[in-house]
Structure 1
Amino acid sequence: MPRIHNVMTSSVLPAVLLVGALLPGARAAHAQVDYRNIDSGRPVRIGDATPTARKSLELNLGNGRVEQLSQGRYRLQLEPRLTYGLLPRTEVSVRSPVFFNERALRPRAGVAGVGIGFEHQLRIESLHLPSVGLGTELFVPTGPAALPPTYSVRGMMTRSFPVGRIHFNGAYGTFNVRTPVGFEKILPPIHGACSVAPTELAMTVRFACMPSTLLSAAAPGATRTHDRWLFGMAVDKSLPLRSTLLMADVFGQKYRSIGRPVDWTGEVGVRTQLSRSIVIDAAVGRLFTGESRATFLTFGTTLSRALTL
C-alpha cells in the first residue's frame, strides 16, 4: 500500500497540477485540434464519434489510472496505446494494459492482455443530424491462467451546439468468469472482504480477498461467458484561444449473471494541447453507486504525427 500510495503522490498529482497550471498559459496555434478529440478513456470514458485522422499516428504514453479503494487501498493501471488513421474516417488501434494490484491480490502486477480495436465514422455531423460512429475491439488476455478472448461493440453519437458538444455512447460486450470448484455462486461486493472483483482491464472476474487457504484448496472450475453493457453521456466545452477542452460525463455499467447491480460513475476532465503534436490530459472520477465505491484519477500524454504506412 505505501508503494502504490507513493506512486499516486509522485505521478498522478503532479500530472493533474501540471494540466491545471498550463490552462492559463496555453496558447492558440493553427492546426491544433487534437485537444478536441475525446478518445474513450482519454481522459473520460465516454468518447466522441470522431476517429483519428487518416494517415495520422497517435501514441498514448504515460496513460495511467490510480484508484483509491475501500480500507485505504490503492490500485494502479497503465495503458499504452497506438492508434493509426488507416482509411478515411477509420482508425485501428492496439493497446496493452498493465496492472498493479493491492497486496491482497495475486498476481500483484502484470500485463493484462492485448486489445485490437477498429473504429469507423458512419456519418459526419451536418446542420441537422449528429455524427455517428461504430467501434469494436477484440481483447486477448495474457498469462498462464488467462481466460478466453472477449469482444465489445460500441456506438457513438456527437452533436455540436453553440455552447459546446454532447456525446452519447452505448456498448455491448462479453466477459469471462472462471468458477472455482466448491463455489456455486459469485457474490459481491467487489471491494469487501472475501469478495470477487470484475477486472475491467482483462474482462475477467477474480477473487479479491478470499482467505489464502481457500484459494489454494480450490481448483479452477468451468469458464463461463456472460455479457455486459454500458450507456452514458458526456458534455464538453472548448476554449480555442487556449487550445483546451473541458469535459464531464456520467455512465452506467452492468455485468450480468454475477449478482451485481448497475455501477454508475461520474468524471470531470481536461485536455490541453502543448504543441502541434503533444496533448496532455487529466481527470478525476467517482464510482458512486453499485456494490462498491472508488475514487480515481487518470492522466496521460498523446503524441501525434502524420505517417504514411
Structure 2
Amino acid sequence: MPKTHPPKLSSVLPVLMVLGAVFPGARAAQAQVDYRNIDSGRPVRIGDATPTARRSLEVNLGNGRVQQLSQGRYRLQLEPRVTYGLLPRTEVSLRSPIFFNERALRPRAGVAGVGVGFEHQLRIESLHLPALAVGSELFVPTGPQALPPTYSVRGMMTRSFPVGRIHFNGAYGNFNVRTPVGFEKILPPIHGACSVAPTELAMTVRFACTPSSLLSAAVPGATQAHDRWLFGMAVDKSLPLRSTLLMADVFGQKYRSIGRPVDWTGEVGIRTQISRTIVFDAAFGRLFTGESRGTFLTFGTTISRALTL
C-alpha cells in the first residue's frame, strides 16, 4: 500500500476563509469567550486543555455528523451531551450517541450507549509554559447484543501565540470485537463497516474489520479486547470582533491486533457565538487512509448557563 501523508495545514487555509465568510452576521460581544473553547469533537476531534468553567452548565442538543460511505450511502449520528464544571478546572460530562444506519443494516436506528467523562486541568497556561489537562471516559454500549464497556484516557496541551493557538492531544484506550456465530468467511470490508464516530475512542469495531486469520482462531460468539491509541494536533485563530474561531486539525488513530493501518484524518471547522449563551459550530473532514476513507460533516449548538448544584 503506498504511503499517504496527512494534509498540510497550509492547504486548508482557503477553506477556513470560506467557512468564516459563511457567518457574516456573527455578533461582536463583550465578555463572550465560549466560542474559543474547543471541546473534543466540537467541532473537530482535537480539543484544547481548558475544561468547562466551574458552575457552568453546557448542553449540546443539536450535535450531528453526516458521513459518506461506499456505494453512495450515507450515515447520520446525533450525540446529545451535557457538561458541568463541578470543581475548579474540573468538568464531568454525560453523552449518548444516537445512530441512523443505511437501509441495508439492522437495526436502522438506536442508542449506541452512554459515556461518562471527566476532565481536569493540571496547570493554567503561563508566560513560559503551556496549559496541560487530562481526561478519561467510560463508555457503556446498550442493546441486547451490546459489547462490554470500554475506557479511554487522554492528555491535552495548549499553547498560545500572537497569531493563534496550537493544541496537541494523545489518547489511549481499548475496544472490543465479537466473533460472529456461524460465519463461513469474511468479505472484504467496505467503507463504513469499520468507521468510528469522531467524538469517541470508545466505540467498537465491527467483525468485518477483523482478518479471517484471527477469526478462524477465535471461538464464535466470544469477545476479544484490544488496545488503541490516537495522536494529533490542531491550530486555531480567533476573530474577537466577530466572536468567531477558525480551526484545523490532523490526527492519526490505530486499532491494534486487527490488521488495520493507521487511520489519518484532517478537519477544518468554525465556532461562532450567536448570543450570550449559544454557540454554533460546524466542520468538514476527510479520512485519508485506512479502511474508512470518505468525507463527513459535523454540526452542533452549545447552550451555556451558570448553574449551582
TM-score by structure 1 length?
Answer: 0.85
Residue in 2 that maps onto 1:174: 174
Q: 1: distance between equivalents of 2:260 and 2:160?
A: 35
Question: What amino acid is the match of 1:65?
Answer: R
1:73 aligns with 2:73: yes
> 4+ runs of 1 displaced by more than 6 Å?
184-187
Q: 1:197 aligns with which of 174, 194, 197?
A: 194
SS of the residue corresponding to residue 41 of structure 1 reads coil
Q: CA, structure 1 residues 220+20, in 2 after alignment: closer, same or farther (shift >3 Å)?
A: farther
Residue in 2 that maps onto 1:263: 263
Q: Give 1:207 shift.
A: 5.0
* Contact 1:140/1:148 (8 A) holds in 2: yes
Q: Deviations over 1:140-163 (max 9, x none)?
A: 000010000000000000000000
TM-score by structure 2 length?
Answer: 0.85
* Contact 2:189/2:208 (8 A) holds in 1: no
Q: 2: distance between equivalents of 1:184 and 1:131?
A: 52
Q: Judging by fraction of residues, say which structure has more strand.
A: 1
SS of the residue corresponding to residue 241 of structure 1 reads helix
Q: 2: distance between equivalents of 1:246 and 1:40?
A: 15
Q: Give 1:291 shift.
A: 2.2
Residue in 1 that maps onto 2:92: 92
Q: 2: distance between equivalents of 1:307 and 1:133?
A: 23
Q: 2: distance between equivalents of 1:142 and 1:59?
A: 22
* Contact 1:190/1:198 (8 A) holds in 2: no
1:112 aligns with 2:109: no
1:57 aligns with 2:57: yes
* Contact 2:90/2:121 (8 A) holds in 1: yes
Q: 2: distance between equivalents of 1:186 and 1:129?
A: 50
Q: Give 1:25 shift.
A: 2.3
Residue in 1 that maps onto 2:290: 290
SS of the residue corresponding to residue 221 of structure 1 reads coil
Residue in 2 that maps onto 1:137: 137
Q: 1: distance between equivalents of 2:167 and 2:187?
A: 34
Q: 2: distance between equivalents of 1:119 and 1:104?
A: 38
Q: 2: distance between equivalents of 1:67 and 1:128?
A: 41
* Contact 1:189/1:292 (8 A) holds in 2: no
Q: CA, structure 1 residues 198+239, in 2 after alignment: closer, same or farther (shift >3 Å)?
A: closer
Q: 2: distance between equivalents of 1:123 and 1:159?
A: 12
Percent of aligned pairs with the same amino acid: 88
SS of the residue corresponding to residue 61 of structure 2 reads strand
Residue in 2 that maps onto 1:152: 152
Question: What amino acid is the match of 2:81?
Answer: R
Q: Give 1:61 shift.
A: 1.3
Q: Give 1:190 shift.
A: 4.4
Question: What amino acid is the match of 2:102?
Answer: E
Question: What amino acid is the match of 1:24?
Answer: P
1:102 aligns with 2:102: yes
* Contact 2:234/2:249 (8 A) holds in 1: yes
Q: CA, structure 1 residues 55+184, in 2 after alignment: closer, same or farther (shift >3 Å)?
A: farther
Q: How many pairs align? A: 279
* Contact 1:187/1:259 (8 A) holds in 2: no
Residue in 2 that maps onto 1:37: 37
Residue in 1 that maps onto 2:280: 280
Q: 1: distance between equivalents of 2:114 and 2:268?
A: 27
Q: Deviations over 1:220-244 (max 9, x none)?
A: 5100111111000000000000000
Residue in 1 that maps onto 2:164: 164
* Contact 1:199/1:206 (8 A) holds in 2: no
